[in-house]
Structures are given as C-alpha cells and as structure tokens.
Amino acid sequence: MKKILITGGAGFIGSHVVRRFVTRYPEYAIYNLDALTYAGNLENIKDIEDNKNYVFVKGDITDKEFVDSLFYEHKFEGVIHLAAESHVDRSITDPLAFVKTNVIGTMNLLNAFKAVWQDNWEGKRFYHVSTDEVYGTLGAEGLFTETTPYSPNSPYSASKASSDHFVRAYGETYGMPYVLTNCSNNYGPYHFPEKLIPLFINNIIEKKPLPVYGDGKYTRDWLFVKDHAAAIDLAYHKGVNHETYNIGGFNEWQNIDLIKLLCSILDAKLGREQGENQKLITYVKDRPGHDLRYAIDASKINTELGWKPSVTFEEGLEQTVDWFLNNTDWLKSVTSGAYMKYYDEQYSER
Ligand code: NAD
C-alpha cells in the first residue's frame, strides 16, 4: 500500500482532508501526524478512526529526530502538509511559536522527505497547504493571482510565506516534486471557535457580545472547507509538479455583512425575533497590521484542473450553522478550560 502522510489531520481543514482520503482511497495507507495542540482534536476524526487504511501518529513536526525516524520507518511517498499554527491573533502575541511550527516544522518534513527520496523522486510528491494571506492586502480592486508578489503583513502570514519559499526552493535546488496551494478563508464543520464564523455562531448561541474589529469593513473571501478538501485531492493527484494553484470561491464578504447574515440565520433557527442577535454586535479595538481585503483569482485551478466549489455560500453557511447547532457537545468541549482563558485575555482589554 502506498503510504501517505497527512500532517495536522486532527485540525479543522486537516480532518476533512484525512476523512476524504481515508474513505475515497482504500489503496492508500493514510498516516495522520498531529501534535494535538489546542487546535487539534481527535473528536474531529472519530468517525474514521477504525478504518483499516488509517493510522494516527501523535507527534510534533518541530522534533527533527522524531520526524526523521518516522520517515525512515515508513518511507512516505506522498506528504500533504497542513500542520501549522494558524491563528493570526495568536501570532501577534507569540510570533516565535509560528516560526517553530510553520518554518522549522516544515523544514524538518522537507529534509526527512528529501533524505528518503532524493535519489529517486519519481512518483513522489510533497504538497504544501498554504494561505492567500502570504500575498498581503488588496485595495478596493483586484484579485490575488499565482504571480502576485508575496508581501505578508502578520507574523502568521510571514511564517507561511517563509515555508512556501522553502518548499519552492527544495523543488528548484534538489528537484523535489511539489505542489503548493494558497487558499482563501475556510469555514465549515469542526472549525475551532477562535476564528470568525464559529466564534460568532458560538457567541450568538450563548448570547455573548459579537466582537467586531475596527469598522467591520474588512473583506475576506470564504470557501466551504469540504470544497477546499476536494481541491486538495484534485491538486494532489492532478496538479503539475512545481506549480502553485490559488483556491477560492470568488465569494467576498465584508465582515459586518457576513456577521449580520449569521445573526439573521440564527434569529430564525433559534426562534428569536429578527434583529435580536444583531444587538449583540460590539465594535472592538482593531487588530494591529490588519489586512483590508483578500480576494482570490481561482481561474487557474478552475480551468487547468477543472475544480469548482460544489456549494454556494448560502448552502455552505446553512450546513455549517446546522452542524454547530447539532453538535453542541463538541462546541462545549472545545470552548471550556484553555479556550476561555484565551478568550478572556484576547477580548478583555478591547
Ligand atoms: P488548525 O489550527 O485548525 O489545525 C492545525 C493542526 O495542526 C492542529 O490539529 C494541530 O494540533 C496541528 N499542529 C500544530 N502544530 C503542530 C506541530 N508542531 N506538530 C504537529 N501538528 C501540529 O488549522 P487549519 O485552519 O485547519 O489550517 C490547516 C492548514 O491550512 C494550515 O497550514 C493553514 O495555514 C492552512 N490554511 C488555513 C486556512 C483557513 O481558513 N483556516 C486557509 C488557507 C490555508
């Protein structure tokens, strides 16, 4: 069986990618490597844990000896790398943690992969999952394309940009076959409620204030997580070596409009009066270095690989809200303890 390593598979996007690969490709042995940080949760992939072609490995990608020995033992022919510190706000308070996992951790994987395969790259692939935030910010017009120069503004995006560059450099310098994708903001089931959509769903359910940064005019391009997982599947199998593909749904929303939409959907679902949830909106001090607008031009993956989102934003959001309403135990379990401490520190001074 071909062994494929997926890193970060207990996290939000990784769990959808692992589930997709385990269920669609019985001919692969899928190894899910995850350190189970605050963002990783085995409940996210509980439904597939008994599958014959699935193995969970608890481990830290910053631990070079551990990563080297894992690759030496299993000789993974493919790597799909998602493990990362992924939250911009946390990168502002602790940038070094982002360098360790996102840069050093990626380097450890690249070096271990290279050590095993550098004399025979044929049929091997290192797939790096990255973000549109590496491109910096857009003004009112234009879209990020694959040739937009990198201009990261947050410690998170700087660390992702750095890892992207190393992946590319290993392709150029050592001939390592790689594919890189830069995707817009994801949303969907199992999204950790520190990010905008699940945070607001959780706060609306609990009738807590909805903290909106600045004037709420920041614009993001949203994609349903299962569509991202499908794009990763396609680019992993059909993408051209040494190519980058941008992934996005041509779906831009100003934060405040999105928040009002969520308020209205949840007014209806929770049996509250229309307009009631909007009263929870509270403007808070802005995030430093906040990028005004991200928007992806996904034409290349659309035309060259034939990928398109399978759901509209309205459909995806409805599925997401329903999932959170039907999985309140999951939501409660991830918002207790350490989450509350983080939440209080994050929003108490704003
Ligand atoms: P997440 O924070 O939900 O999950 C990250 C996972 O990585 C967790 O399971 C965590 O335990 C694991 N992890 C963290 N540090 C680790 C380490 N040192 N060793 C091993 N495992 C470790 O993140 P996500 O939102 O699912 O994002 C996954 C990837 O996709 C990241 O690389 C991120 O940069 C990228 N991405 C995310 C988005 C988005 O909207 N969330 C958009 C584009 C790209």
Alpha-carbon distance values, 77 to 30, 83, 120, 194, 275 (Å): 11, 18, 11, 34, 53
Indicate if 132 belongs to the active site.
yes
- With tokens 């271990």, the residue in question is 112
Quick one: tokens of 251? 């779906």
Output the pLDDT for position 319. 96
Contact partners, residue 44, CB within 8 Å, separation at least 6 = 10, 11, 12, 15, 190
Task: Decide: 79 and 111 in contact? Cβ < 8 Å.
Answer: no
Predicted confidence (pLDDT) per residue in 56-73, tens digit: 999 999 999 999 999 999
For residue 37, how far is its CA from the centre of ligand 1 (angstroms)?
10
Output the pLDDT for position 268. 96
Predicted confidence (pLDDT) per residue in 204-229, tens digit: 999 999 999 989 999 999 999 999 99
Q: Which of 156, 170, 187, 218 is catalytic?
A: 156
Q: Which of 60, 85, 132, 252 is catalytic?
A: 132
Helix/strand/coil for 245: strand
Indicate if 133 belongs to the active site.
yes
Interaxial angle between packed helices 155-174 and 106-117, expressed in degrees from 0 to 180 and rounded to the nearest 10: 10
Residue with CA nearest ligand 1 atom 19: 60
Query: Which atom of ligand 1 is found nearest the CA of 183?
Result: 43
For residue 10, how far is its CA from the centre of ligand 1 (angstroms)?
9
Q: DSSP letter string over 66-89?
A: HHHHHHHHH--SEEEE------HH
Q: Which of 34, 60, 85, 133 is catalytic?
A: 133
For residue 268, how far is its CA from the centre of ligand 1 (angstroms)?
32
- With tokens 């797939």, the residue in question is 127
Query: Which atom of ligand 1 is found nearest the CA of 156?
Result: 34
Q: DSSP letter string over 307-331?
A: ---SS-HHHHHHHHHHHHHH-HHHH
Task: Decide: 181 and 245 in contact? Cβ < 8 Å.
Answer: yes
For residue 84, how far is its CA from the centre of ligand 1 (angstroms)?
4
Output the pLDDT for position 344. 76
Q: DSSP letter string over 169-225?
A: HHHHHH---EEEEEE-EEE-TT--TTSHHHHHHHHHHTT--EEEETTS--EEEEEEH
- Residues with beta carbon inside 6 Å of ligand 1? 7-8, 10-14, 34-37, 39-40, 60-62, 82-86, 101, 105, 129-131, 160, 183, 185-186, 192
Q: What is the mean pLDDT of the chain?
A: 95
Checking if the pLDDT of 255 tops 90, the result is yes
For residue 85, how far is its CA from the centre of ligand 1 (angstroms)?
6
Residue with CA nearest ligand 1 atom 17: 60
Predicted confidence (pLDDT) per residue in 2-40, tens digit: 999 999 999 999 999 999 999 999 999 999 999 999 999
Mean pLDDT of 164-191: 98
Query: Which atom of ligand 1 is found nearest the CA of 61?
Result: 19
Domain ranges within the chain, ordered by starting residue: 2-187+223-247
Query: Which atom of ligand 1 is found nearest the CA of 185?
Result: 40
Predicted confidence (pLDDT) per residue in 300-337, tens digit: 999 999 999 999 999 999 999 999 999 999 998 888 87
251 band by pLDDT with thresholds 50, 70 and 90 = very high
- With tokens 């996992």, the residue in question is 101
**Whether the predicted interface score ipTM is above 0.95:** yes
Helix/strand/coil for 2: strand
Predicted confidence (pLDDT) per residue in 260-297, tens digit: 999 999 999 999 999 999 999 999 988 888 889 999 99
Q: Which of 17, 33, 37, 246 to mutate to test the pocket of ligand 1 (most atoms within 8 A of CB)?
A: 37
Checking if the pLDDT of 349 tops 80, the result is no
Q: Which of 5, 6, 13 to mutate to test the pocket of ligand 1 (most atoms within 8 A of CB)?
A: 13
Query: Which atom of ligand 1 is found nearest the CA of 132?
Result: 43
Indicate if 283 belongs to the active site.
no
Instruction: Record the pTM.
Output: 0.96
Checking if the pLDDT of 350 tops 60, the result is no
Kindly report the CATH class assigned to 2-187+223-247.
Answer: alpha beta
For residue 8, how far is its CA from the centre of ligand 1 (angstroms)?
6
Task: Decide: 66 and 60 in contact? Cβ < 8 Å.
Answer: yes
Rg, Å, the chain Cα set: 20
For residue 87, how far is its CA from the centre of ligand 1 (angstroms)?
9
Query: Which atom of ligand 1 is found nearest the CA of 14?
Result: 26
Predicted confidence (pLDDT) per residue in 69-113, tens digit: 999 999 999 999 999 999 999 999 999 999 999 999 999 999 999
348 band by pLDDT with thresholds 50, 70 and 90 = low
Output the pLDDT for position 336. 81
